[in-house]
Structure 1
Amino acid sequence: MYHVNKRKKEESQKFEFFDRLESAQFNIKLPPPVDEYYAVKEKASSAGWVPGQGKPSQESDKNTPGRMLGQALMKRAIADIPLIQHMQREAQGMYRLHGKNMCSEVQWRTFQGAEAMVSGEVDEVRAEAEEIEPGWGGMIWRQAAQYHGMLKQHQQQAAAKAKAEQIKKQGQPKVLTVEEQKAKADRVAKELLEQEMRENKGKGGKKK
């Protein structure tokens, strides 16, 4: 009886471990720019910014409260894009697994929590965009996705360029200083002299 209970306990612990492992992909947090946005919003409100008034996108001064708030919200939305894409990739598979009873309740609840959090963030960003400039709420996510794609492409190009330069640098011979060139020449001359002496010594031995 003891061994049976022990085996059941071990199996239970094993299943709990895999539940935690499978659920880890949905233990996500919102990125730092979310909190940063609200800090900027608080400063903007203190500076006299009023929700729903004005058109920051048409302001020439980039340092107005509305303009700075809009920039902070766009930064927030861009930072959210990877989370949204992650949930979009995983959602279809999770619903299919849950429909076939092929995922644990722990994993399903974790997924639902993550999905609700990301969905709430999407709605909240839209609402904030409307407060900053009426009509922006319907466009901000499309703009954020475009900017995120451009930034990602720029980062990939920069990484590829850096890698190519590193490979090129590694393939180039080292440029020696005058002192290093002289030392190398002396070393080669010494080696040649020693080689010649060995050869002469060998020839002398044969004559005997």
Structure 2
Amino acid sequence: MAVALALVLLLLQRQRRNSQDDFRYDALGAAQYQFKLHPHTEHYQTLKANFPENAADIRPLQRALFERALVNIPLVMQITHEANQASQLYKRSMISESAWRAIRKAEDTLKAEMDDVSAEADELQQGWGAEIWQQAMHVHVQSQERQAQAAAAAEAAEKEQRTQANRAKREKQKERQKAKKAGSAAPPPPTPEEAAERARKELEEQLAAEEERKAAAQKQRSVNRRGSKKGR
């Protein structure tokens, strides 16, 4: 009896835990797939509605339609990947019915958008509808590769900058250690004020020495004149 009661309690706990998981998936997963189409869809529709009939140049429409397809590529990749996973989980009763319906609705919305883009492409250029999504995927992949390369280059440049900074830091440390071992570090260069004061003192010393030399020469000439007078 005790064993049976324990098994019942265990099953109840497991069911409660599963229901909590389903609720968490409903709250997060289902809401995640309640998306709106990208503004490029409305932009294209507005542009087409106001576009002149029988216009010779339809390239603005083609560019707008291609951008509409391009901005949806990440969403196409996400929904396709997650819908495949959700399908397997749903078959194993690991997600709730509401979450599964939300995913299927997202798939249907996205498929309708893709079909509409293809139809618009064929209307603008016969046969383009079968190629526009492949072209958009190609451009998206190239853009991702360029971004990855730019990020890798920036990371490499930053790493090289850090390496150079560390190398310079180590060199300075070696120089300080070498100067310390030599007994004393080289005196710091004088400031502009100190250099000016030193030059002023040197000039004063030179002028004083010159005055002393002149005075000594004058004194010697006086002595010489007195000696010559006595000799006469």
Max Rg structure? 2
**Contact 2:117–2:129 at 8 Å: present in 1 too?**
yes
Q: CA deviation at 1:17?
A: 3.5
**Secondary structure of 1:28 counterpart:** coil
Structure 2 partner of 1:3: none
Residue among 59, 65, 69 paired with 1:77:
69
The aligned runs of 1:31-110 (5 Å cut-off) are: 31-43=38-50, 45=51, 48-50=52-54, 64=57, 66-110=58-102
Structure 2 partner of 1:27: 34
Give the gaps of 5 or more residues in structure 2. 1-15, 185-232
The aligned runs of 1:1-208 (5 Å cut-off) are: 15-43=22-50, 45=51, 48-50=52-54, 64=57, 66-173=58-165
Counterpart residue identity of residue 20, structure 1: A
Q: TM-score, normalised by structure 1?
A: 0.64
Structure 2 partner of 1:57: none
**Contact 2:25–2:95 at 8 Å: present in 1 too?**
no
Counterpart residue identity of residue 37, structure 1: Y
Q: Could you list the per-position Cα deviations for residues 137-190 of structure 1 after superposition, in whole angstroms to 9, with x for gaps in the alignment? A: 11111111111111111111111111111111222239x9xxxxxxx9xxx7xx
Q: CA deviation at 1:120?
A: 0.6
Counterpart residue identity of residue 29, structure 2: E
**Contact 2:118–2:132 at 8 Å: present in 1 too?**
yes
Q: Could you list the per-position Cα deviations for residues 92-126 of structure 1 after superposition, in whole angstroms to 9, with x for gaps in the alignment? A: 22222223333202201110111111101110101
Distance 1:164 1:32 in 2: 37
**Cα separation, partners in 2 of 1:33 and 1:71, compared to 1, 3 Å:** same
Higher relative contact order, chain-length normalized (CA < 8 Å, sep 6+): 1
Q: CA deviation at 1:129?
A: 0.7
Identity %: 34
**Cα separation, partners in 2 of 1:170 and 1:36, compared to 1, 3 Å:** farther
The count of aligned residue pairs is 164
**Cα separation, partners in 2 of 1:170 and 1:49, compared to 1, 3 Å:** farther
